[in-house]
Chains A and B, each alone.
Chain A
Amino acid sequence: MSARDDEIRRVVAELEIHVAEVQARLAVLNALLARDEVPEDDKEEGPH
């Protein structure tokens, strides 16, 4: 495997991480607008 192939894989992996980071923060902002709350998954679970 060439150095360029490794470089492409590295950049794709980093790109995937940054895209996921943006999407995660957008999800929180959109949830705030939709329900004035963060998504349920982000809350600590209380006693049942």
Chain B
Amino acid sequence: MARELRKAARDSGEDVAAHHGLVKMIPQWERGDRAPRERYRLLYLKIFTDMLGDLPHGMDAVDLATRLVEVHSRAASLPRPGEIRRLEAAALARPRATLTSAEIRALAEEAIAHLHEVAGKLAELSALLGDDKAGQGKP
């Protein structure tokens, strides 16, 4: 992604942080620890828009690229299954009036099941976008 950002910046005639700076910042953005500045959000948008470059309508491509950036960011901020298990254990250890232990366990199971679906869909999307890019003859 750092390489993609640098390339998008170079194509737009913009300056970005040095490669090692981007490599450090990108995981922080993806985890939601820090919010990228507007110019970096625009570069992300450009990268995804370029990946979808053969869509017939420009606004469709921008809309889809925006959704891709947003959902990618939301997916990256989700906890891992182990963290959900820790939440489940902490919730089970607390006295509570609203949910039974079985309901809490079911919530955690469902969250992890959907998390696996998220990973699968991200892989599917990555393959589709990779195909898309390859189809345009880009390196």
Residues of A within 8 A of B (CB): 1-2, 4-5, 7-9, 11-12, 14-16, 18-19, 21-23, 25-26, 28-30, 32-33, 36-38, 43
Q: Could you jot down 10 A-B contacts, CB within 8 Å?
A: A2-B54, A15-B121, A18-B117, A18-B118, A21-B111, A22-B111, A22-B114, A22-B115, A32-B104, A37-B98
Count B-side interface residues using an 8 Å CB cutoff: 41
Chain A residues with CB below 8 A from B108, complex form:
25, 29
Partner of A8, one of B90, B125, B135: B125
- Bound-state Cα–Cα, A22 to B114, Å: 6
Chain A residues with CB below 8 A from B107, complex form:
25, 28-29
Chain B residues with CB below 8 A from A9, complex form:
64
Q: A8-B132, A32-B96 given as contacts; is B67 within 8 A of A19 (CB)?
A: no
Secondary structure type dominating chain B contacts: helix
* Cβ-defined contact, B68 with A12, below 8 A: yes
Partner of B91, one of A12, A21, A32: A32
Residues of B within 8 A of A (CB): 52, 54-56, 64, 67-68, 71, 74-75, 78-79, 84, 87-88, 90-91, 94-99, 104, 107-108, 110-111, 114-115, 117-118, 121-122, 124-125, 128-129, 131-132, 135
Smallest CB gap from A21: residue in B:
B114
- Bound-state Cα–Cα, A35 to B7, Å: 47
Chain B residues with CB below 8 A from A5, complex form:
52, 54-55
Q: Chain A CB within 10 Å — which of B54, B56, B87, B104 has the most? A: B87
* Cβ-defined contact, A19 with B75, below 8 A: yes
